[in-house]
Structures are given as structure tokens and as C-alpha cells.
Amino acid sequence: MSEPMAAVAGRPNEAASQAPLISMRDIRKSYGSVHALRGASLDVLPGEVVALVGDNGAGKSTLVKVMAGVIGFDSGDYLLEGQPAKIRTPADATALGIQTVYQDLSLCNNLDAVQNLFLGRELTGPRWFGRRVRRAECEVRAREVLARMRLGSLSLTRPVGAMSGGQRQNIAIARSILWTPKVVIFDEPTAALSHSAAAQVAALIRSLADDGLGVVVVSHDIHHFVVNSTDRIEVMRLGGNVASFRSKDVTGEQVVNAMVGGNEGANLAV
């Protein structure tokens, strides 16, 4: 049990030797009398996929929203590479290398893949020319990223609204890594996907971690995705952490038990 977690996860040379990219300690957040977070903590290590699980209202969404700069927090420490993170807006988080793939994917259905990838950060011409979008340049870069994700078959000119759920998910992921982030947060990445599409997304997520990124995944898909495709599982309940598992050591039932408060996960916690 004293063995470093990352070593167990099979990447001894990376995660074990590196400091956490993100370290959240004792984060508290209340909405009036509702305590959404009562001292939640989470470390995000490079090269590791950490799953954040919990029942509805456990606080996992609130925690990732704090991480992504969507909402603020009342007290606690939010360290980014050891330094207090100055994150007030989603744009701050993005600028600091924390990208989020939202559950609703945040895509504009009437725009094509290239336009969605570069949305808000288009490469443009000079101001006096009305900031003309440098479509060709954007397209070349989009092609490169998609090709390396083995997504070369995606149409770049069709509106993404005309694409399948898996393709849209892939575009959202491609967008998150386009600007070389340090940490990528996934909110329910496999919900609403077919089995094969979910497997493809899981493989993509793994590939991000393999390349040294820290990956946080909020998921309800305990039995398939969480147990099989992550390295570490943090279980939240009532706004705090209740258990922590190495994914390869647990079964879905054990995780679910911890989520609903069965045996507190005590004897299984790392």
C-alpha cells in the first residue's frame, strides 16, 4: 500500500518522479446553505488518468468546475505546478493549460470541424482587413492534429451538427489538445456514445496520458470506462473524498459501494 500509485499504474518513470500538475487541497464551496464541497482534495499527476466518481450531488462536477475556472471557491488551496493558480474565468484556465471537454461538447453545430477547433482563437489577417480568417492555415493545422489522432477521415467542411456522436466527441477532444494543454478535464466523455465509439474515446484519453498530460475524467460509466480505462479512482460523497483506488485493483461493485457509502471503501483505499 505504500507503493507509489503511479508505479502501480505502470508508468514508473513518469508519474512517480513528477510533482502533481494540479493539487487541490481542502476546497470548500457553498451556495448559501448548501455545502457543495466540504474540503475536497484532488491531485492530478502527469501521465495519469484519474477518474472522479460519485453519486449525483457528490460534488465532483463542482470540483471540476472550480478546476476549470467556471466557478470560484470559498477556501482551500488550488496549486498549479506548485504555485497558487490564479484562475477566475474559463479563459484563465485555458491560458494556463487546463482544457475542458464538456459533456455537451460545446460545439457549434452550424460550423465545420476546422471552425470549431479554432473557435475563439482563429488565425486571422490584419485588423484593417477585418481580421480575415486564415482558413488555409487553420485547415492545415487541423488536418495535422486530426491525422495524428487517427481521425483523418473526418470531413472538415461538413457542419459538425451533421456528424455522429463519436465524431463530435473526437472533434471536442481534438480541440482540447490543439493548444498543447497540461491537463485535460473530461466531463462524462463516454455518456451517450455507442460501445465502439466509447472504446475509441477511451483509447484517445489513454493516449493523452501516455504523452504526459494529466487527465481528469468525471464519469458515471463505472463498470466499463472507469475500471478499465483509468489509473486511479477518487470517490466523492457529500462534497468530500471518501475513497481512493488503483483502478486495476478494484471491481466496479467496490467502487459503487464506496460511492453510495457501503463499506466506506476503507479497506480498499490506497
Partner 1 sequence: MPWWVATRERTLLSESNSHPTGAVAAADAEVELVPATHPSEKRTFGELLTSDLRALPVIIGLVALWIFFILQNDVFLTPRNLSNLLIQSTVVGVMALGLMFVLLVKEIDLSVAAINGVTAVLMAKLIVEFGASPWVAIPLAIVVGALIGCVSARWVTFVGVPSFVVTLGLGLGLNGLQLILLPTTARYGLMGTSVETIALAKIDGLAAWGVLAIGVGLYGLLVLSSIVRRRRAGLSVSMVKGLALPLVGVTLFGAVVVAILNAHQGIPVVTLVFSALLGLGGYVLNETQFGLHLYAVGNNDEAARRAGIKVSRVKMAAFAIAGGISAIAGVIGASRSLGVGVFSGGGVGGGTLLLECIAAAVIGGVSLFGGRGSIHAPLLGSLVIGSVQNGLNLMGVHDEIRLIVTGLLLVLAVSIDKLIEKFTGQQSF
Residues contributing to the site for partner 1 (CB under 8 A)? 90-91, 94, 97, 100, 102, 104, 106-111, 115, 119-122, 124, 130-137, 139-141, 144-145, 148-150, 152-159, 161-162, 177-180, 182, 196, 199-200, 202-204, 206-208, 210-213
Query: 203 vs 260, which CB is nearer to partner 1?
Result: 203
DSSP label of 254: H
Rounded Cα–Cα distance for residues 247 and 50 (Å) = 9
Q: How far is the CB of 186 from partner 1 (least distance, A)?
A: 15
HSE (side-chain half, CA atoms, 13 Å) at 157 = 2
- The nearest distance, CB 234 to partner 1, in angstroms, is 23
d(CA 29, CA 98): 20
Comparison of 31 and 179: residue with beta carbon closer to partner 1: 179
Q: Which is nearer to partner 1, 117 or 255 (CB)?
A: 117
- 222 is written with which cell numbers? 463505472
For the record, the C-alpha cell of 220 comes out as 458515471
- Decide: helix, strand or coil at residue 179: coil
Q: Rank residues 30 and 106 by Cβ distance to partner 1 and give the closer one.
A: 106
Task: Please report how close the Cβ of residue 155 comes to partner 1 at its closest, in angstroms.
Answer: 6
**Nearer to partner 1 by C-beta: 34 or 129?**
129
Sheet with 34-44, side-by-side order of all strands: 34-44, 22-31, 75-80, 83-84
Minimum distance, C-beta of residue 10 to partner 1, in the bound complex (Å): 10
- Pick from 187, 202, 215: which is nearest to 14 by CA? 215
| Residue 34 beta carbon to partner 1: minimum distance, rounded to whole angstroms | 23
Instruction: Name the residue among 44, 35, 20, 31 with its Cα closest to residue 234.
Output: 44
